[in-house]
Amino acid sequence: MKKSERINQMLRFINQKQHFTLRDLMRKFQISKRTALRDIASLEEIGAPIYAEYGRNGGYRLLNPIQLPPISFSSQEIYALYFAMLALQSFSNLPFQVSFRSIHEKFINELPDSQRQEIESMKNRVSFRHTEQTKDSPHLEILLMAAVKKIVLKIAYQNAQQKSIRTIQPIAIYSMKGYWYCQAYDTSKEAYRVFRCDRITSAEITNIQPLEDLNEITIQNAQSLWEPSEKAIQFKCLISQEGKELFQQEQFPSMKLIREMENTYLVGSYEPNEIDFIIKYLARFGKSLKIIEPVSLKKALREYYRDLIDNI
């Protein structure tokens, strides 16, 4: 990072912290003690009102908030932002219903002519091939904000068999294979569940007190909290390297890969009413997967293949 860019970021950092130490600057910007001291001197030269505090809890303190310069982006940062916008193009639903077109126009209009021409050229050289969304998910905003603000919702959920009213505390939302999903704690069942967002037909804020234990749960660790119901059926499949790659592209909290001796297995569970889902999911693996147990699942997959052959 160039010194001018580092000083600019350092101004924003100390303006936010107000009180900081040399170690704070060294850790944040990955610089030596000598460089940190030189940077503090540079900050003072440009007028930052900094004074030193001595003693055991000493450091540096900012006398008054600084009037910060406008945020500027390097060419690489502008390209990265544009790449991120291109990745949004294939989503028909996004939280807050912000369209790609409106963001794109505002972004392009703020660029100088030279960068605008480079961006337009880049547009014809890169493409993100996401699976197109097949169904609308109109409640993404309320689901996301409920996760952020720790709010309990009452939702109407329509699965393949029936419509039910559920009370959930959302944890996170994510998109995969053309669908949006919501990871949440189902207060009715007292268990962590994943809901397909397009099947949520209504969502209302409740006055129910949220669970404080969920505050530290994120999209990264929520998957490990999945617990099957008492009626869930366990399964185990031998899986090849090709199958492992397919699993990494599309996986669910109720499944995982394990290693036993020289072999890798896909293990997990499914609820009795999810048999159609699990059969169609496993069928995608083709010869890269072999069901070990249960026998009923193996028979159901055979029947599925027979039906496919009969329809050819």
What single letter denotes the amino acid at residue 212?
Answer: E
Distance CA 210, CA 28 (A): 34
| Confidence category of residue 143, pLDDT binned at 50, 70, 90 | very high
191, 175, 192: which is closest to 183 by C-alpha? 192
For residue 219, pLDDT beyond 60: no
Instruction: Indicate whether 222 pLDDT > 60.
Output: no
* Residues facing 266 on adjacent strands: 237, 257
| Both tokens assigned to 273 | 């009413």
Distance CA 180, CA 201 (A): 14
Map out the domains of the chain as residue ranges. 3-62, 75-123, 140-225, 233-310
Q: Which residue has the higher pLDDT, 204 or 70?
A: 204
Reported as a single tens digit per residue, the pLDDT across 183-211 is: 899 988 888 888 989 999 999 999 999 88
Q: Which fold has domain 3-62?
A: Arc Repressor Mutant, subunit A (1.10.10)
What is the arithmetic mean of pLDDT over 229-241? 92
Q: How far is CA 103 from CA 64, 110, 126, 223, in A?
A: 35, 11, 18, 32
Q: What is the pLDDT of residues 258-275, one digit of tens each?
A: 999 889 999 999 988 889
Best CA proximity match to 118, nearest among 68, 148, 74: 74
Q: What is the pTM assigned to this prediction?
A: 0.60
Enter the tokens of residue 91.
Answer: 């989503």
Is 98 a residue whose pLDDT tops 70?
no
Inform me whether the pLDDT recorded for 223 exceeds 80: no
**Per-residue tokens: 271:** 């609820």
Reported as a pLDDT band with limits 50, 70 and 90, residue 288 is very high
Report the topology of domain 140-225: SH3 type barrels. (2.30.30)
Element (H, E) at 22: helix 22-29
Q: Provide the pairing of β-strand 19-20 with 59-62.
A: antiparallel
Per the model's pLDDT, the better-predicted residue between 128 and 300 turns out to be 300
φ, ψ of residue 76 to 5 degrees: the values are -65, -40
Which tops the pLDDT comparison, 86 or 27? 27
The CATH number given to 233-310 is: 3.30.70
For the chain, what's the residue count? 312
pLDDT of 57 > 60? The answer is: yes
The separation between the first and the last C-alpha atoms of the chain, rounded to the nearest angstrom, is 61
- The per-residue pLDDT of the chain, averaged, comes to 84
pLDDT band for position 3 (50/70/90)? confident
In this model, does residue 243 exceed pLDDT 90?
Answer: yes
From the number of C-beta atoms within 10 Å of its C-beta (0-12, 13-18, 19+), residue 278 rates as buried
